[in-house]
Amino acid sequence: MRLFLEQGFETTTVNQVAEAAEVSAMTVYRHFPTKEHLVLSDDYDPDILELVRAREPGEPLVTRIGRALADGLSRLSEPELDLLLRRIRLMLSAPALRARLLENQHATQAAVVEALRGERTDPEWEFRLRICADACFTATTAALIRWAETDDAHRPGELVHRAIDYLAEETG
C-alpha cells in the first residue's frame, strides 16, 4: 500500500513490493494470486452477510440489502474508514484495479444471494435476488466513489442510505 500510494499502482512492480517486504517475488505470488489482490483483498463479507440476515425477512429486498450495507459502513471505526478511503482512491487511479473491484463485488453479491435464497430455488426468484443485490451494491459503490472524490465531510453510510432512497423515488 505504501509503495502504491507513493509512486502509483501501475508504475510499481511486484518485484519492488517483494523487495520492500524482504521476500522473493515468487513468495508474493504465493500469497496473492495477482498484483491487484495486494490492494483488493478484504474480509468484509462475513459482516455483510450477518447484517443482511439480521434484518426483517418481510422487507422489500432492495431495502433489506441496501440498509444492511449502509449500516455496515456506519459501523466502521475511524481508522478502518481511513484505510478504506485510501484503497478506494487507489482503485480509482488504476483501470486494472477498477475492473477487479467489480469482480470482488460480484463475489460478495453471490454470497448475499446465497444467504437470501432460502428454500426457494426457482430461477425466477434467483433472478429477482440478483437484480436487487446488483442495484444495492452498485449504489454502494457509487456512494463510496462520491465519498472518495469529494472532500466533503459526508459519512459513507449516510451516502449509501441516501442512494437507496433515490432508487425508491425514481422507480415507477
Interaction site with a copy of itself (CB under 8 A): 59-63, 95, 98-100, 102-103, 106, 123, 127-128, 130-132, 134-135, 138-139, 141-143, 146, 150, 162-163, 166-172
In angstroms, what is the minimal distance from the CB of 63 to DNA?
A: 38
The C-alpha cell 502509483 sits at: 8
- Cβ-based neighbour number of residue 170 at 10 Å: 7
Q: Which stretch binds DNA (CB under 7 A): 16-24, 69-77, 111-119, 121-129?
A: 16-24
Of positions 1, 20, 23, 110, contacts DNA by CB under 7 A:
23
Q: Which stretch binds DNA (CB under 7 A): 31-39, 43-51, 116-124, 136-144?
A: 31-39
No. of H helices and E strands in the chain? 10, 0
Q: How far apart are CA 121 and CA 161, in angstroms?
A: 30
Q: In 55-94, where does DSSP find H-type helix?
A: 61-74, 78-93
**Contact call for residues 85 and 155 (beta carbons, < 8 A):** no
Regarding 25 and contact with DNA (CB under 7 A), the answer is yes
Beta strands of 75-135 (E only): which ranges?
A: none
In angstroms, what is the minimal distance from the CB of 79 to a copy of itself?
A: 27
Binding site for DNA (CB under 7 A): 12-15, 22-27, 29-31, 33-36
